Chains A and B, each alone.
Chain A
Amino acid sequence: MSPNIPDLVAPEPWKRRHLLGLQGLDRQEIELILDHAAEFKALQQSKTKLEHLRGRVVANLFFEPSTRTRTSFSLAAKRLSADTVDFTASGSSISKGETFIDTALTIESMGVDLMVVRHSSSGAPEMLSRYLKCGILNAGDGTHEHPTQGLLDIFTIREQLGSLEGKTVTLVGDIKHSRVARSNIWGLTKLGAKVIVCGPPTLIPPGIEQLGVRVAHRFDDLLPESDVINLLRVQFERQRGTFFPSIAEYAHLFGMNRDRVRRAKKDVLILAPGPINRGVEISSDVADGPHSQILHQVTNGLFVRMACLHLLAQRQLQERAD
């Protein structure tokens, strides 16, 4: 380790072997990750390669296509000097006779310490955590959770606003099929933000208000009160049948455009988890405009993932030492 780079030791309170979602984390744990990510962000200014994961093997096991998240995780591991292996697989294949658990066990047996798992089925990473010994990091499972995306959204907001306490964050769009929405809701509410979910009733899942969020259907009404607007992607690939009559009508009712920005708070933050459908949930000029946090989100994602990988790896070392 180069002498002028402080050796970041993962903070003590972190006790988890896996990061499966934000549902199970408490406020302190979430803040721990965010703070740790901020430390990595500060360190990164020096452009020096860090050595926190030297000798560790991180496998990216993606059962669902992904470019952005996989690249981000891969780079995060590399920035920390881990050896990485990327593995793209289809899910269980009865015809081949191999289940997804078999696939993961095979990869793990090659000496993997941490496994980053993306899967189109909700709960797949949690199932794997019962079969595997390595640490599992959920990189998005079905319509359940995408914890690092939730964390990087929250990191970005916190960086801009200083604190989440009392801030109004509006999540717009396909809440029903969105794992990003669920992770955002768990994280944001724990940090004291007021969360509103807004979309057509066909895309609002039942009982969501029991998570402590307000449900609304008219986006325009929410513009004056929202400090942050997070525009969820319309998940065409997860929707079965039609949930709204047309893309044009969706954009008309829920799309963020110049006119809506004018009616929003003056310093509103506009987030979108991407990949964005330009002209659907967000117009191009807004995506590229001054309120947009889209590229900050991507940048911060790297540091959040570095923090998560490091915390899990440290926990593992500690367990082995015990």
Chain B
Amino acid sequence: MGTLLIKNGRLVDPARQFDRIGDLLIIDGFCAEPGQHIGEIDQTIDATGLIVAPGFIDCHVSFREPGFDEDETIASGADAALAGGFTTVACLPETVPVIDTRASAEFIVRQGERAGRCRVLPLGAVTKNRDGKELSEIGQLIEGGAIGFSDGKQPLGNAEIMRRALQYTRMWNKPILHHAQVPELVHGGMMHEGFQSTVLGLQGMPAAAEEIMVRRDIALVETTGGRVHLMCISSRRSVEEVRQAISRGLPVTADVTPHHLLLTDESLEGYNTNYKVDPPVRTADHRAALIEGLKDNTIGLIASDHQPHAEEKKTLEIDHAPFGIVGLETLLPLCVEALITPGHLDWSQFISKLTVGPAQLLSLRAGSLQPGMPGDVTLIDPLAQWHIDSAQFRSRSRNTPFHGRAVQGRVESTIVGGEIKYVAAGRPAQEGRSP
């Protein structure tokens, strides 16, 4: 394995509330005390002008393998993750077959290892075949590698099933990642319900659909002691509910996506299906509340909600096109635009949402550069100016509304377990390799 020295970077390690210029040493794949190694260094990276952060963690992505290789495979998804600065991703079981058995969870782990890119971890299905009726073999799934449970974009509409899932997962202290939405209230919906949906003549998805479910979940957490994580919250009241739940000491967490921080329902004008996402982007008022939630740490995580779809699936009528944006490779610059540039979060607070937050949620030994932690590192050029070009994506899919956008902030290199796995185009892979 050897030694890797990252020199002169701005080390930002929110887990230790650490933000200063310095060197990071990785020995045999693990972070080490600077100066611990005496002798020759195998590889050196000059990180002058770069932020050196713990590798990003995305607590829910959809890689579509097995079942939908035309959208993404685990290998292509993991490659996209690296390009976005992610060293660990957790995959939603939105696959065919669904990840609801030990063997299928092991398949995800195996494919991730085979790809040899970032760390790929499975989220097991809460219910068999994600049909919301019977609990899947949660204990077996954990033995197969599942680090949390989710039915993906399928809400757990049956409160009794949710209650039992929250009770049952307590045995392992694993969270349930929920797409909190009352299914009957969003049936056939394509966008946020409001003035814009009325003008465009598109079936709406009311904010209440999310808010009601968030309240229900919080009530169930209160009675069961189980852990719930609310994926992609999008409404003002949801943020308020989570804020109160956290203040009552309940194990409730939430994440938000970059597109919910940047877009509003007005972007659906023109019926571009790349703006069709679930939950929908809402109004500026909701968007402002999400940003407030990040600022006061009500929302402790940011997720890409990477939802790749092959082009032929998105060039359909908006009624028929699937929901989702391919998000891993654009998360960083979009968050710079939404959060850092306007001064809502500083770099340390922002990086915390991609490291400390998800590492705690999924009980991962990751998300910090503390000596002894895995040598997972993301190098960021905070000032790089560039244009998003979906043709350059490593993901198999191109369904982004941000193609062509002028952005700032770029992932320069991604290191997993001390190995340089990704280097941005135009940057030398490493410098000063010692003889």
A residues sitting closer than 8 Å to B (CB atoms) are: 23, 91-92, 94, 97, 99-101, 119-124, 126-127, 141-145, 179, 182, 205-208, 210-211, 240
Residue of chain A at shortest CB distance from B198: A205
Contact check, B319 vs A208: say whether CB atoms are below 8 A apart. no
A94 to B319, CA, bound (A): 13
A28 → chain B closest CB, angstroms: 22
**Residues in chain B near residue A144, CB distance under 8 A:** 200-202
**Residues in chain A near residue B319, CB distance under 8 A:** 120-122, 142
Contact check, A124 vs B317: say whether CB atoms are below 8 A apart. yes
Contact check, A207 vs B194: say whether CB atoms are below 8 A apart. yes
A211 → chain B closest CB, angstroms: 7
Contact check, A126 vs B270: say whether CB atoms are below 8 A apart. yes
Contact check, B317 vs A119: say whether CB atoms are below 8 A apart. yes
Q: Point out which of A127, A182, A208 has the most chain B C-beta atoms below 10 A from its C-beta.
A: A127
Contact check, A122 vs B204: say whether CB atoms are below 8 A apart. no
B186 → chain A closest CB, angstroms: 11
| Contacts known (A123-B200, A179-B201); A206 close to B317, Cβ less than 8 A | no
Residue of chain A at shortest CB distance from B196: A207
Q: Could you give 14 example pairs across A and B, Cβ below 8 Å? A: A99-B315, A100-B316, A119-B317, A121-B320, A123-B270, A123-B317, A126-B271, A127-B317, A142-B201, A182-B201, A205-B204, A206-B198, A207-B198, A211-B199
Whether, in the assembled complex, B188 has its beta carbon less than 8 Å from a beta carbon of chain A, the answer is: yes
**Residues in chain A near residue B199, CB distance under 8 A:** 23, 182, 207, 211
A304 to B318, CA, bound (A): 29
Q: Which 5 A-B pairs have the closest CB atoms?
A: A123-B271, A207-B195, A144-B201, A121-B317, A143-B201
**Residues in chain A near residue B203, CB distance under 8 A:** 143
**Residues in chain B near residue A207, CB distance under 8 A:** 194-196, 198-199
New contact pairs (9) apart from A141-B201, A206-B197, CB-CB < 8 Å: A92-B320, A122-B318, A126-B270, A143-B201, A182-B199, A206-B204, A207-B199, A211-B198, A240-B187
A264 to B20, CA, bound (A): 79
Contact check, A205 vs B197: say whether CB atoms are below 8 A apart. yes
A123 → chain B closest CB, angstroms: 3
Give residues of chain B (191-222) contacting chain A, Cβ–Cβ below 8 Å: 193-204
| Contacts known (A121-B319, A126-B271); A206 close to B200, Cβ less than 8 A | no
Contact check, B200 vs A91: say whether CB atoms are below 8 A apart. no
B429 → chain A closest CB, angstroms: 41
A91 to B318, CA, bound (A): 11
**Residues in chain A near residue B195, CB distance under 8 A:** 206-207, 210
A126 to B268, CA, bound (A): 12
Residue of chain B at shortest CB distance from A122: B201
Whether, in the assembled complex, B40 has its beta carbon less than 8 Å from a beta carbon of chain A, the answer is: no
**Residues in chain A near residue B270, CB distance under 8 A:** 123, 126
A108 → chain B closest CB, angstroms: 16
A142 to B188, CA, bound (A): 13
Q: Point out which of B188, B197, B200, B202 has the most chain A C-beta atoms below 10 A from its C-beta.
A: B200
B196 → chain A closest CB, angstroms: 8
**Residues in chain A near residue B315, CB distance under 8 A:** 99, 101
**Residues in chain A near residue B196, CB distance under 8 A:** 207
B72 → chain A closest CB, angstroms: 18
Whether, in the assembled complex, B296 has its beta carbon less than 8 Å from a beta carbon of chain A, the answer is: no
A208 to B317, CA, bound (A): 24
B383 → chain A closest CB, angstroms: 35
Residue of chain B at shortest CB distance from A124: B317
| Contacts known (A23-B199, A182-B199); A206 close to B194, Cβ less than 8 A | yes
| Contacts known (A207-B198, A240-B187); A123 close to B318, Cβ less than 8 A | yes
B259 → chain A closest CB, angstroms: 19
A68 → chain B closest CB, angstroms: 20
A307 → chain B closest CB, angstroms: 24
Contact check, B271 vs A122: say whether CB atoms are below 8 A apart. yes
